[in-house]
Structure 1
Amino acid sequence: MRALCATDLSAASEVAIENETCLECLGRISVEMIHLVTVVPANVHSGMPGVNLEERRKQALDQYRTVIKSAGFDVEAHIVRGTPYRRINGIAETVHADLAVVGSRGQSPLENRIIGSTARNLARTTVVPLLVNRIERATDDPEVLREHLFQRMLFTTDFSEHADRAFDAFSYLRHATEEATLVYVRSPKDEGVDADTSPREQLTEYASTLETWDIETRIGVRHGDPADEILAVEAGETPSTILVGSKGRSRIRRLLLGSVSEEIVAQATGNVFLVPPPWSA
């Protein structure tokens, strides 16, 4: 597998890329090649006073490359100019990346949890599964908030094709997963809708698959606003990562994520693994 790791050369990016436990998790899901990508915004020029971009980029990427190679991965670095999320998506397609990783600062105690603009735009437009790796906020020496990326998963489903596609990611995540909580939220708009199979029975089918892979599994059916209920489960169980599918975007125009997945990506405390539709294929 090939992973793309995006960096803006900040302290948050450094800890996301160099964390030994996080690299081990990528290795467990069969990642062998890591593409490091840093994008210089088009409005920033190396000749600007006080800006030494070339030397800073070289030193940081050399440092990252050394750490990643020492962890047993092949590494290729890409330094490009333009709009970050667009260039990252373009490189992900070019190198046929299987997933992308982007670090994002966590919650400030004085404000709502809002992810950075690049992470937010990637979540809305990503062409490959995207791991939003949460980093401590408001500190000069940040740490990742959940080191074991896929050890304890929270999978959210509405039994749509988007959710089924996200569940399929367990086919490779399972090598790093020990526990999983599977949650369906029945929203008020679903009341009175008949189904051939009950949500608990459908969750049990998912659980049976995971248990054949020796993943300890719990299921839960909740009632209320889906995003609120999912975030409540996260607060109570503190999973490493929330696994969720998205509707992605159309070929004609960019669309926002579905409201539930958008809120989860924006407001979750820990990591989020977002699986988009395979539209680019």
Structure 2
Amino acid sequence: MKAVLATDLSAASEATIETETCLECLGRIGIEEIHLVTVIPSNVHAGMPGMDFEGRRERALERYRNVIEGAGFDVESHVVRGTPHRRIRGIAETIGASMTIVGSRGKSPLENRVIGSTARNLARTSETPLLVNRIERGVDEPEIVRKHLFQRMLYATDFSENADRAFDAFSYLRHATEEATLVHVETPKDPGLPEGEDPRQRLEELTDQLEEWGIDTRIELRQGDPADEILDVEAEYEPTTTLVGSRGHSRLRRLLLGSVSEDIVARAKGNVLLVPPRVA
């Protein structure tokens, strides 16, 4: 399996790359090849006096490359120019990546209402599973908030096709997962649940599958606003990563905020693994 690891060469990105437990978790789920990607924004001009942007980034990536190769991965580096989320997505699709990884320091309540971060834009548009690796906010030398990426998973489902696709990720996550919490938030009309079907029974069927793989599993049934309830469960159990499926968006929908998956990406305290719809 291949992964794209996007970095802006900040202290937050360095925390993602140099945390041994994170790299170990990636190895456990079958990642063998990592593509380091850094993007020079298109509004930064190569001809600015004294500014060798490509050279400086290539030298910085070489240090990261040595760390990741030392952990046993094959590594390729990419220094590209353009809009960050578009170039990261393009490289992931070109190499056939199984996962894209991007660090995020999270947002303040006001900033949550603003479109613009690479992580949020990738959450809207990525066609490969996106791991948003949460980094400490407001410190000079940030660290990963929850280092064992897939050790304790929170899986949120509305029983839709997209949620089922996210659950399929356990086929490889199970090699690094010890515990899982399955949560379903009941709404007046569950999109993926036939009328009269018991959601607890569906969750118990998923539990049986995970426990066959040796994963200790618990169930949470909630009522209320889906994003709020899922985030309450996250606060209670403190999973290392929350796993959720994305419905995808129309061209117009990409300009708006408000979906459950986007709320979770923006507001979760820990890592988030977002699995997009199957490409037609």
Fold similarity call, TM over 0.5:
yes
Corresponding residue of 1:227: 227
Corresponding residue of 1:41: 41
Q: Matched residues in 2 for 1:254 and 1:224: separation?
A: 24
Q: SS of the residue aligned with 1:76? A: strand
Corresponding residue of 2:82: 82
Q: Matched residues in 2 for 1:50 and 1:104: separation?
A: 30
Is 1:271 the counterpart of 2:271? The answer is yes
Q: Matched residues in 2 for 1:93 and 1:15: separation?
A: 25
Q: CA RMSD in A?
A: 2.1
TM-score (norm 2): 0.92
Q: Matched residues in 1 for 2:247 and 2:67: separation?
A: 35
Q: Matched residues in 2 for 1:203 and 1:68: separation?
A: 38
The alignment-based identity, stated in percent, is 67
Per-residue CA shift, 1:119-160, capped at 9, x if unaligned? 110000001000000001111100000100000000000000
Per-residue CA shift, 1:194-244, capped at 9, x if unaligned? 734200000000000000000000011111111000000001111000000
Is 1:67 the counterpart of 2:93? The answer is no
Q: Matched residues in 1 for 2:120 and 2:27: separation?
A: 26
Spell out the pairing of 1:1-281 with structure 2 (5 A cutoff). Answer: 1-49=1-49, 51-108=51-108, 117-188=117-188, 195-250=195-250, 255=254, 259-279=259-279
Q: Structure 1 pair 39/61, CA: closer, same or farther in 2 (3 Å)?
A: same
Equivalent pair of 1:39/1:81 in contact (CA under 8 Å): yes
1:262 CA drift (Å): 1.0
Equivalent pair of 2:154/2:180 in contact (CA under 8 Å): yes
Q: Structure 1 pair 138/201, CA: closer, same or farther in 2 (3 Å)?
A: same
Q: Matched residues in 1 for 2:97 and 2:64: separation?
A: 19
Equivalent pair of 1:128/1:276 in contact (CA under 8 Å): yes
Amino acid at match of 2:260: V
Q: Which runs of 5+ in 1 are unaligned?
A: none
Amino acid at match of 2:13: S
Q: Structure 1 pair 248/257, CA: closer, same or farther in 2 (3 Å)?
A: farther
Equivalent pair of 1:5/1:101 in contact (CA under 8 Å): yes
TM-score (norm 1): 0.92
Q: SS of the residue aligned with 1:218? A: strand
Equivalent pair of 2:106/2:266 in contact (CA under 8 Å): no
Q: Matched residues in 2 for 1:169 and 1:92: separation?
A: 18
1:17 CA drift (Å): 1.5
Q: Structure 1 pair 161/258, CA: closer, same or farther in 2 (3 Å)?
A: farther
1:259 CA drift (Å): 1.1
Q: Matched residues in 2 for 1:66 and 1:4: separation?
A: 16
Q: SS of the residue aligned with 2:174? A: helix
Equivalent pair of 2:105/2:134 in contact (CA under 8 Å): yes
Q: SS of the residue aligned with 1:180? A: strand
1:187 CA drift (Å): 2.4
